Chain A
């Protein structure tokens, strides 16, 4: 046998081929998983969407027609059936975001990170509804669109915290982004009880809470309120589910792209050599 001196960077052709095959197998596996996920999405999602649509339609009918008209405010009070359930849904989503963020901080789970992101995003949408429907109700009742009282200001601050969370997730490319976002989410969630209890501890222009705060409500109104909350919660769940699948798919596609570039790289090197 004759000895041939070779450079340190030399790699035999067989190793390159097996590496390419391995990468190709991973890409094929990722593709099959993407297809399986698309098929899974097709079955129960439309059924749940139809049920939620019917529930939302019925809840809207009850809010506009079924619920009794309030004596002093008249029809404007019906904004309450969208404003309050939207706020409760936003708070619920921010609490789920808190739980998922804490879980991510402890376990570094990718699924928890996605749940946190999705809940923050959908929560911000519901919080936006609260911040828009509130002033629309306030204008005819208080005579002003906005006042810097504790409830309104703290809700705006809460919204800004979660918008900054989403900006951090969207525009930061650091590997530490999920960790920083989880820490920010924990701080943001601390604001939620402050927003809720602000009308108990401070003198504000905002009405007293309808549940657990000394306020009273007609049982028929309460029924419509809870019905709308149920409808909005189902809607939020569906949107979160859809957004979760999208985010997971997006991450898998990104990984597949990364693997593909890995697959192409040795071939390019071989060609250039």
Chain B
């Protein structure tokens, strides 16, 4: 990708998606901990 604008657009797209997926994963981890506490 020689064009910096093209690189910036594609990188921004994936950064946004990965950041959102990261929030989902962290929420899952928190929920899993809550479920483990409930099992005790």
Contacts and interface: CB of A to CB of B under 8 A. Distances in A.
A239 B21 contact: yes
B27 A136 contact: no
Interface residues of A, number: 35
Interface of A: 27, 31, 34, 38, 60, 64, 74-76, 78-79, 82-83, 86, 122, 125, 128-129, 132-133, 136-137, 139-140, 235, 239, 242-243, 246, 249-250, 253, 256-257, 260
Contact of B9 (A34, A128, A133, A246): A133
Contacts of B20: 122, 125, 239
A76 B5 contact: yes
Contacts, number: 75
A246 B35 contact: no
Contacts of B38: 27, 31, 34, 253, 256-257, 260
B3 A243 contact: no
Contacts of B10: 60, 64, 79, 82
Interface string B1-40: 1110110111011001100110010011001001100110
A137 B9 CA distance: 8
A76 B4 CA distance: 9
Interface of B: 1-3, 5-6, 8-10, 12-13, 16-17, 20-21, 24, 27-28, 31, 34-35, 38-39
Nearest to A30: B38
When A and B form their complex, which 7 residue pairs have the shortest distance between CB atoms, in order from nearest? A79-B9, A75-B3, A136-B9, A133-B9, A125-B20, A132-B12, A129-B13
A246 B5 contact: no
Nearest to B32: A38
B25 to A, nearest CB: 9
